[in-house]
Structure 1
């Protein structure tokens, strides 16, 4: 059996991955709140931004954490198409969950449907990302821990969407984001502890790209996207602020004589 190391760079990758998950969650919740205050194409655009933020945050969290993953006795490579697919799946499935919440008349049903969809999106992204691993040996999973990781993902997503609908103050949004980041991280590491690897030493070159060749530049690019989008969302006025400035610009009506 190969010895698995989940933090080859020490605390750097777990902490950084948690921060990425929190930023994605905070941005996603903020955009969902904005979407609910908007209508038409504006609502759709906010929901698309929310889905891309949460999806990007989850994916970046997973692969930043994977930068710290090592197995004694073998190198690790990543299948590029599968890794890209895992990012698209994260965005599409999370998007379905966010749109269910954004456009549903029945909030309770929307939450359950959105939470289930988004949670399954997180889990499918994780296991697709794991399927992209290439190493000298076979990867096995503990079914109980896999099931636990999926349950954590669904519960976390439902709680996050509930927070998106019910939480308005900046402090509460921050707390909700920290909790969602913690839930996504705990889902990831539960899924990782389900893994065992039986090493089959081989001199053959592994297919795929190394983490530093491919995962690292992509994670940096997506991280930059999250930071830039966060700045844009923070600076764009809310519906209430727009109304206030519009009413301030209207000339005061002269009272009728």
Structure 2
């Protein structure tokens, strides 16, 4: 028989918490990418790796916080530990590929398209690997149209996020981009969940027992959440990340002064009375 699926067992708590984690991971990741681009003397691979890990952990925690609210009335839902961890590894690794492409190749030509497709497919793979980790007394089915739409949303969200990481420089604009990214990632997740249907096996003779989602997911979520908090500390204590746009402006002013010195015609002219020496007292 068809199971009664509820994706919002705890109301708005899980969607809001999931959205905030997606925004946090996106904001930290985008600022780390900006840091690697603004300061060429920094260790670029390290900052790009930190950005990829932040975005990947943010997407992964968003998914499983949202899945805490997933409930099937006729059967208990639990998760396979190995597959759940594998989904985190896939999220960080594939997002890292896209981040490194734009970090070294920029957004010109086909680099952005390739990076966006790869990253979007990685986000979708993380989502459906996380769904494959579910264990319940039944079979999970998917509507192909909903799955395809969720993948397209993931690719569009990843492409927009990577483009903004290379293009956006200011702190406030980066925060705005992370909010949009959180909406897109959350939209991808719930679009994919809307395509889910559950066919429950015969439950005659008792209920199908198993661990509750919280008993497994909450301890596993602790690690990525702590990582995001530590990444946030790194971002907060790095002045370049906070005043990167100001330093760029100051460098622009310095370059303008240098060009004025090199081109006397561009230098400001003094008035006639500034050139006349003061009269000597007799």
Q: Please report the TM-score for the alignment, with normalisation by the length of structure 1.
A: 0.89
The SS at the match of 1:10 is coil
Aligned to 1:12: 13
Structure 2: how far apart are the matches of 1:106 and 1:87?
Answer: 26
The residue aligned with 1:135 is 136
Q: Report the alpha carbon displacement of residue 213 of structure 1 after superposing the two structures with TM.
A: 2.0
Where 2:92 maps in the other structure, the secondary structure is: helix
- 1:13–1:65 contact (8 Å) kept in structure 2: yes
Shift of residue 204, structure 1, vs aligned partner: 7.4
The 1:95/1:13 distance shift into structure 2, 3 A limit, reads: same
Any idea what SS the aligned residue of 1:182 has? helix
Alpha-carbon distance in structure 2 between the residues aligned to 1:100 and 1:120? 15
- Aligned partners of 2:101 and 2:165: how far apart in 1? 13
Match of 2:222 among 214, 220, 223: 220
1:211 aligns with 2:203: no
Could you tell me how far 1:109 is from its partner in structure 2?
2.0
- CA contact under 8 A between 2:57 and 2:224: conserved in structure 1? yes
Larger radius of gyration: 2
Give the conservation status (yes or no) of the 8 Å contact 1:73–1:201. no
1:233 to 229, 232, 235: 235
8 Å CA contact 2:75, 2:208 repeated in 1: no
CA distance in 2, matches of 1:47, 1:9: 36
Shift in Å, 1:224: 2.1
Tell me what 1:247 maps to. Answer: none
Contact kept, 8 Å, 1:140 with 1:196, in 2: the verdict is yes
Q: Distance in 2 between matches of 1:204 and 1:111?
A: 50
Structure 1 SS opposite 2:198: strand
Question: Is the 2:88–2:126 Cα contact (8 Å) retained in structure 1?
Answer: yes
Unpaired segments ≥5 residues, structure 2: 251-282
Give 1:103 shift: 1.2
Does the 8 Å CA contact 2:103/2:166 hold for their aligned counterparts? no
